[in-house]
Amino acid sequence: MNKVPMQKRIIVVDDDDDVLQIMRFILEEQGHLVEAVCDIESFNRLTGFKPDLILLDDWLIDGYGHELCQKLKQDHRTRMVPVILISAQNGIEEAAEKGNADDYITKPFDVDFFMSKIQAWLSPHYNSCSPN
Residue 11 DSSP SS3: strand
Instruction: Name the burial class of residue 87, with classes exposed (0-12), middle (13-18) and buried (19+) by CB atoms within 10 angstroms of its CB.
Output: buried
DSSP one-letter string for 82-101: -EEEEESSTTHHHHHHHTT-
pTM higher than 0.85 for the full model? Answer: yes
Percentage of the residues of the chain whose pLDDT score is greater than 70: 90
Per-residue pLDDT reduced to its tens digit, 64-96 = 999 999 999 999 999 999 999 999 989 999 999
